[in-house]
Amino acid sequence: MTETAQRTQQPSRVVIEGVACALAAGLLWGLVFVVPLMLPEYPPAMLSFGRYLSFGAIALVLARTDLRRLQELRRPDWRMAFELALVGNILYYLFLSGAIQLADAPLPTMLIGTLPIVIAIVANVGAEALPWRRLLPSLLVIALGIALVNSHEVALLDQQHSAQDYLLGTLLALAAVFCWTWYPVRNARWLQQRPALASGTWAIAQGLATLPLAATGMATAGWYFGWQGGFDYPLGPQPGAYVGLMLTLGLCASWLGTLLWNRASRLLPTALTGQLIVFETLAAFAYAFVWRGSLPGTAALVGIALLVLGVILGVRTFRAG
């Protein structure tokens, strides 16, 4: 039975499975917000290219187990895989890690936290359009939750960063928002146009498309640091931590996260999966609290509860639709 047939015959089960896949992907993607804080001496390029070089290498190994279906992909599929890899992988994490290191985690996390709203609105303008009066309640609850959670985060902004750093960090975070608004909408529509394309195969294909881009970026970074200096290329001051964290991100956040998100995108409407990116926001905040060794305040807890409520309302709205 195909994934499309499953969605038709078992709607309740499919919705539950899709939400579970989105939740798992969000928990894995939340890791990408804390790693730049764990490796502050590493430039954004080394974090982005290191992560996706690991992703590509893992995909290369996994490709041997799915060779037949990979050979069935056509030229447009590979072209789209390269576009998704460039925008949704390389550029997104390059912008995000740069924003976090320039402006610390709270400000970029706040801006990235708007993704559930932005993606849901963009995805709802089109063939899948749901009446706005039915979509707005869940979006408003999520927006209020994001505002409350981020009020706690903004309060953590310190004076260690200059106004110029905050401005540049904001611009980079907005660029990351653009990249990751385009990626899930385009990826979901591509998958829905190709019901025979398996989620796992598509995740491996994106990893293979990412590999040459990451390798080129890593080589360019080596040339730059060799000429400019300022970084002990290629492994930096903490080789063991760097390699271990890049492999963790490549395996968990990139390959497994992409596979799970592809599955969720196959099973659920794009406007709903856009709202479910809130799981990434919740995971990022949770990991940040663990890293700081602190507990969330009352406003943050209320915001988290509202985010969960918004997701529940969104799921109920789309099931009713």
pLDDT 10s digit of each residue in the chain, 321 long?
A: 454 444 444 467 888 899 999 999 999 998 988 888 888 889 888 988 999 999 999 999 999 999 999 999 999 999 999 999 999 988 988 888 888 778 776 677 778 778 888 888 887 776 556 677 777 888 888 888 877 876 765 665 555 666 777 788 888 989 999 998 999 889 988 998 888 889 899 999 999 999 999 999 999 988 988 888 888 888 889 999 999 999 999 999 999 999 999 999 888 888 788 888 888 878 887 887 888 787 777 887 888 888 888 888 877 776 655
Q: Provide the pLDDT for residue 116.
A: 82
174-205 per-residue burial string, b: 16 or more CB within 10 A, e: under 16: bbbbebbbbbbbbbbbbbbebeebbbbbbbbb
Q: What string of DSSP letters covers 166-212?
A: HHHHHHHHHHHHHHHHHHHHHHHHHHHH-TTS-HHHHHHHHHHHHHH
Amino acid 104 reads: D
pLDDT of res. 160: 62
Residue indicated by tokens 């491996």: 204
Judge residue 275's burial from the number of C-beta atoms within 10 Å of its C-beta, 0-12 exposed, 13-18 middle, 19 or more buried.
Answer: buried
Where would I find the beta strands (DSSP E) of the chain? none
Spatial separation of the C-alpha atoms in residues 72 and 119, rounded to whole Å: 31
Give me the pLDDT at residue 7, please: 43
Q: Please tell me what DSSP assigns to residue 125.
A: S
